[in-house]
Amino acid sequence: MSSASQASHCPSNARVFSGPGAADTTVGTMVKQGVAAEDVLAESPAYQRSHWLRDTAEAVRTASAELARLITREGIKTIREARGEVTRAATTLEIAAEEALRIGGETLAFDRTVAGDNRSGWTTQRPVGLVAAITPFNDPLNLVAHKVGPAIAAGCPVILKPHGRTPGPARRLRELFLESGLPEHAFQVLDDTSADAGDELVRHPAVRMLSFTGGRAVGAHIATVAEGRPVSLELGGVCASIVLADADPETTPDRLASGMFAAAGQNCLHVQRVLVATPVYEPVLERLTALAQEIRTGDPMDENTDMGPLIDDAAISRCEAFVSDAVQRGGHVVTGGKRLARGFQPTILTDTPADARIVREEVFGPITVVERIDSVDDAVARLADAEASLATAVFTRSLAPPFTLRRLRTGCIVVNDSTDFRTDDMPFGGPFPAGRSREGVRHAMADMLETQVICLNFN
C-alpha cells in the first residue's frame, strides 16, 4: 500500500503537532486547574451534572441565531447548515444529560465459588479524570458537544483544543456552561494554536484520556504518545454508497446528493464513491448530475446559498489535484471540476480507475466518483480492496444485501440512506485506520469511566 493511500484529509489538525517542544505555561496551568476540578466533578451528584448539561442545552437553543452566525462566519457551512448544527449540538447535550443519570453498576454473585461464600459485592463506574479533546473545523459546535457532553456526564473535567480557524463556537459554549453553573475549570478551551501546545497537552501525564477527531497523521501520533491511556480517534476515510437495480428511483438520487455536497463535502461521512448497478446506472447518473448543477454556491450567509466555501486555499488546490489525477488516468468530468473564488464546484467524475486518488484517498471536498457495477458482490469485491471506512450505504428493497456488506471493514452499514446519515446517540467510528473506539454520547462515556469493585465479607 502506497503512502498516498494511507493519507487522510479528514479535517486536519496538521499544525497541532510538531513533536516535543518547550513547555507551555498556558497548557501547564490549564492542566493543573483541570486536575484540581477532578474531585469537584467526580463527587458531584448525577442529577447536578445532568442539570448543568440540560440547562446548557437550553441556553444553546436560546442562542441559536448567534451561534449559527458564528459558525458560518468562521467556518465552511451555509447559514442553513449552521442552524442545523446548533440544533444537533443542543440535542447532543440533552442526550448527555440523560446518560449522566444512567451511570450505574451491577451486583456480583461471589458465592459461585467456595472462596466467595458469605461475601457480596457490586461494581460502580468512576470517572477516569482529566480529558484532553481536539476537534476539527467542519462541525465546530456539535463535535465539541460530542466530547464535552460525555465528559461532564461522566464526571471528567475537559480541556478542549478547537481548530485554529474555528475557535468561536467552543469559546461561546464554555461561556454558556459557566452561566449554567458548571465549575469554572471543569471545561477549559485552549486558545494557543501553536504546534507545541497541542503536543504538550496530549503528552501531559496528568491527562487521563485523549479524544481526537481529525487527520490520520495526527491520530497516529496521539495513539503513540497515549502510552496505554484510553484513546478515542475518529480519523475518516473514503465512504461509499451502493445503488442496486431495485433501489427506489425517486428518493435515492436526492439522498445521495445530500451526502455528496453537504458542507461542501467536508464531512467524514461524505459520499465520495457511488457504485451503481448497470440497469439503473444511466438514470441515476443523469439525476445526480442535474442535482449537482442545481446547487447554488456563493455567500454562505445568504439564505439561498446551498453550498459554502472550502476551509482554505490548500483544500481548493487538493480538489484540483484530485480531479487532475483522475482525468490523467482516463477519468471523465461529468460536471464541475473547477475552483471557485472560495471553494470548488460540485463535481461528479466517471470512468475513474481504481488507482486514482479520488477512489483511494479522502478528498474532503465536493467531489464524487460514480462507478458502474454488476452486482452487490462486485461492489463488495471493489470495496474490500479499500481501507476501512466509517460507513457504507446500500440502496435496495431487499434485506439480503446489507448482510452481504457485513464482510466489509466498515463502522456502519446504512440501508436506503447515504453514508452521511447519523444520529447523535448512535455509536460512531470505524475500524483502524478509520478510527479507534466509538463516539456517540453513551459510547464515548465508556472510555471516560473506569469500573471499580466493592467487596464485602460477612464472615
Could you read off the pLDDT of 386-441 as tens digits, one per residue?
989 999 999 999 999 999 999 999 999 999 999 999 999 999 999 989 999 999 99
Between residues 14 and 355, the one the model is more confident about: 355
Q: What is the structure's pLDDT at 15? A: 41
Residue 19 has pLDDT above 70, yes or no: no
**CATH code that applies to domain 3-235+433-457:** 3.40.605.10
Q: What is the structure's pLDDT at 1? A: 31
Q: Does domain 239-415 have CATH number 3.40.309.10?
A: yes
b/e sequence 339-366, b meaning 16+ C-beta within 10 Å: ebebbbbbbbbbbbeeebbbbbbbbbbb
Q: What is the structure's pLDDT at 25? A: 52
d(CA 115, CA 102): 32
d(CA 221, CA 180): 36
- Collapsing DSSP states into helix, strand and coil, what is residue 169? helix
Q: What is the structure's pLDDT at 385? A: 87
Choose the weakest-confidence range: 225-229, 332-336, 355-359, 447-451.
225-229
C-alpha cell at 166: 474555528
- pLDDT by residue (tens digit) across 342-352? 999 999 999 99
Q: What is the structure's pLDDT at 196? A: 83
C-alpha cell at 148: 464535552
Residue 3 has pLDDT above 60, yes or no: no
Cα 200–Cα 96–Cα 430 angle in degrees, nearest 5: 65
In this prediction, residues 373-382 reach a mean pLDDT of 96
* Residue whose C-alpha is closest to residue 349's, from 340, 363, 341: 363
- Collapsing DSSP states into helix, strand and coil, what is residue 451? strand
Residues whose CB falls within 8 Å of the CB of residue 319, separated by 6 or more in sequence, listed in order: 310, 339, 344, 347, 363, 365, 366, 367
Residue 435 contacts residue 409 (beta carbons within 8 Å): no
Residue 76 has pLDDT above 60, yes or no: yes
Q: What is the structure's pLDDT at 459? A: 86
* Residue whose C-alpha is closest to residue 86's, from 176, 187, 214: 176
Residue 50 has pLDDT above 50, yes or no: yes
Residue 11 has pLDDT above 80, yes or no: no
- pLDDT by residue (tens digit) across 117-137? 999 999 999 999 999 999 999
**At 231, which helix (H) or strand (E)?**
strand 231-234
DSSP 410: B
Query: Can you give the residue ranges of every domain in the chain?
Result: 3-235+433-457, 239-415
Residue 227 has pLDDT above 50, yes or no: yes
In this prediction, residues 305-309 reach a mean pLDDT of 98
Side-chain-side CA neighbours of 282 within 13 Å: the count stands at 1
**Active-site residue numbers?**
234, 268
C-alpha cell at 438: 466509538
- State pTM to two decimals: 0.93
d(CA 335, CA 332): 9
Residue 154 has pLDDT above 70, yes or no: yes
pLDDT above 90 covers a percentage of the chain that reads 89
C-alpha cell at 238: 473514503
- Amino acid, single-letter form, for residue 200: E
Residue 21 has pLDDT above 70, yes or no: no
Q: Distance from CA of residue 371 to its chain's centroid?
A: 26
* 307 backbone dihedrals φ, ψ, rounded to 5°: -135, 130
Choose the weakest-confidence range: 9-23, 86-100, 294-308.
9-23
